[in-house]
């Protein structure tokens, strides 16, 4: 009877509303267990708290796994992308919990298989890896959205902050803009010094994604010219960098676990 009621509710509920409502329990977990600092520029995760509430996380993961490809295809582009980002982040936390305590996500896996290549995620009709969700689905030509690199979280201090709320199709654009600006504004990873711009290695690893025509941007330089001022970079210093050849160097990437229990040890 309960299954029939749920099916009826799904059929009469607008697709986007139904899709976003899937993430309600995930939203509550994030609000309770992710601590945001520096105006949202960095965050730490209470993995011990997630362990305590593991049943809630696993129930959410089961809800994601129950979404069929046909249902997924009826959703808007923004709703599908929000779903995939949430799935990636939630399954990353589940991966950490399966091996917790660990000092780094890179400690998981083996010489022959990175943590991102472990096939353990039932999603959209297949058993998938984190790599497949990110590189085949999230980064696909369907979306062409470079700001996803500030939303997907690799459970490391060097990553952009894990947002302490679920992504939703309804406000995805606003959320992605916010995490982008807050990440760029973290001047431990992105900063100007002596007319030299230092950026997170994310911009080196995924440079091509910022040059695929999103919002008319054909180069990383165009993206930076528009977004660095919004992130509080000094305009005069930016012009000096632009006039001196726009050279970019990349800051160190910290793979230590973004664990709230070790925030003192890993403080920057």
Across 93-116, b (16+ Cβ under 10 Å) vs e yields bbbbbeeeebebbbebeeeeeebb
Predicted pLDDT of residue 258: 97
Q: HSE of 178 in the Cβ direction (CA atoms, 13 Å)? A: 14
Q: What is the mean pLDDT of each run of 10 residues along the chain (268 residues)?
A: 49 63 97 90 95 98 97 97 98 98 95 95 98 98 96 96 97 98 94 94 97 92 96 94 93 96 53
Predicted pLDDT of residue 145: 97
Indicate the helix (H) or strand (E) that contains 127. Answer: strand 126-128
Name 37's bridge partners. 42
Predicted pLDDT of residue 6: 45
Domain extent listing, the chain: 16-186, 190-250
């Amino acid at each position: 009877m309960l299954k029939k009621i749920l099916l009826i509710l799904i059929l009469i509920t607008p697709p986007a509303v139904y899709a976003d409502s899937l993430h309600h329990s995930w939203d509550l977990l994030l609000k309770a267990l992710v601590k945001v600092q520096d105006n949202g520029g960095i965050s730490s995760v209470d993995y011990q708290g997630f362990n305590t509430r593991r049943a809630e996380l696993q129930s959410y993961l089961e809800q994601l796994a129950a979404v069929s490809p046909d249902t997924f295809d009826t959703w808007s582009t923004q709703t599908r992308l929000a779903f995939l980002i949430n799935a990636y982040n939630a399954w990353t936390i589940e991966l950490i919990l399966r091996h917790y305590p660990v000092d780094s996500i890179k400690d998981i896996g083996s010489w022959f298989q990175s943590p991102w290549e472990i096939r353990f995620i039932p999603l959209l009709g297949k058993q998938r890896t984190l790599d497949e969700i990110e590189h085949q689905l999230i980064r696909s030509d369907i979306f062409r959205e470079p700001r996803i690199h500030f939303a997907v979280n690799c459970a490391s201090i060097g990553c952009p902050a894990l947002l302490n709320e679920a992504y939703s199709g309804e406000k995805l654009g606003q959320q992605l803009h916010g995490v982008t600006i807050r990440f760029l504004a973290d001047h431990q990873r992105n900063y100007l010094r002596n007319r030299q711009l230092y950026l997170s290695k994310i911009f080196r690893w995924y440079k091509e994604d910022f040059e695929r025509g999103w919002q008319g941007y054909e180069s990383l330089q165009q993206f930076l010219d528009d977004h660095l001022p919004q992130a509080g970079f000094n305009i005069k210093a930016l012009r000096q960098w632009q006039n001196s050849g726009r050279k970019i160097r990349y800051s160190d990437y910290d793979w230590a676990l973004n664990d709230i229990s070790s925030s003192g040890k890993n403080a920057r």
